[in-house]
Copies of this chain bind each other. A is one copy, B any other.
Amino acid sequence: MTDRSEAILPTFDDVIVAHERIKPYIHRTPVLTSRFMNELTGAKLFFKCENFQKAGAFKVRGASNAVFGLSEAEAAKGVATHSSGNHALSLSYAAGQRGIPCHVVMPNTAPEAKKAAVRGYGGLITECEPSTSSREAVFAEVQSRTGANFVHPYNDPRVIAGQATCSRELLEQVEGLEAIIAPIGGGGMISGCCLTLSRLAPKMEIYAAEPEQADDAYRSFKAGRIIADDAPVTVADGLKVPLKENTWHFVSRYVTDILTASEEEIIEAMKLTWQRMKIVMEPSCAVPLATILKNPATFRGKRVGVIITGGNVDLDKLPWMNG
């Protein structure tokens, strides 16, 4: 899939419908502030804590919107995806809430803990070899056998509309925000921010934060076309995937800038957040704070919304352990 594929875009009406639809299945997550972090950065930071979200991440918003938007006939066949991360958990959770099957194709090399987590939410795992060709073949087989509805982790307009409810809530919770910053991987969350803010707060700056070692979105943004990396290596393992046409549409039009941080800066910011704010969050969520600390002049004096995207972390493999 390239940036020449035709984008299928959600509208802001879809966001309103999504928000009504998913409300029974998600938390309206709290917004935390920290005097320490404000003094450190010179900004006024408002942390939107999707680590406290159902299934541990914002992904449940988009997954629930897709699942609960299906007709009865569609729903009966279930949903399917390929993911070994938060999307797999979230889709399994949402399907469980509707009482329909969720098929998840995962590489047989995925850690046992991740498989157990997906199964814990009721997901039905089919294993594939750890290659794109095997994943596609196995996924095609699962889908043709079950007729399940494919819910892409981020390039699906239903998913983008669902993720857009996060920034909509944040606007309701905090007055006078001047900027928002979120991590960027495939671009689902950032696209949701763009969709909401371009309608409700068009002057607000939108920053995407990315690991230097997986900076395909940064390079795409500068080049004006999607550049995909093969196999980036970063502790922020939720952010390795490339942009696709639907998310590129939003990123290329509405994002103010993409900022990057090194692995060391990400780990330092993650540790600092755990120490000072006492919250458990994934390495991906630390990328925004790392870039704020790296670019103080961009944020100083501003009221900035910071999306903490998820809290599903392997406590036995924290990034500062083996470093």
Contacts and interface: CB of A to CB of B under 8 A. Distances in A.
Contacts of A315: 271, 274-275, 318, 320
Contacts of A278: 51-52, 56, 279-281, 311
Contacts of A275: 280, 315
Nearest to A117: B275
Contact of A280 (B56, B279, B316, B321): B279
Interface residues of A, number: 18
A274 B318 CA distance: 13
A30 interface: yes
Contacts of A316: 320
Contacts of A320: 315-316
Nearest to A276: B56
A51 to B, nearest CB: 5
Interface in A293-323: 311, 315-316, 318, 320-321
Nearest to A272: B315
Nearest to A50: B278
Interface in A39-65: 51-52, 56
A33 to B, nearest CB: 11
A30 B49 CA distance: 14
Nearest to A54: B35
A35 B311 CA distance: 16
A318 B281 CA distance: 16
A17 B162 CA distance: 48
A315 B277 CA distance: 13
Nearest to A51: B278
Nearest to A321: B321
A275 B281 CA distance: 10
A285 to B, nearest CB: 11
Given A30-B30, A274-B280, A316-B320, 12 more contacts: A52-B277, A274-B315, A275-B280, A275-B315, A278-B279, A278-B280, A278-B281, A278-B311, A279-B280, A280-B280, A315-B318, A315-B320
The 10 closest A-B pairs by CB, nearest first: A278-B311, A278-B280, A51-B278, A274-B280, A52-B278, A271-B315, A274-B315, A280-B280, A278-B279, A279-B279
Interface of A: 30, 51-52, 56, 271, 274-275, 277-281, 311, 315-316, 318, 320-321
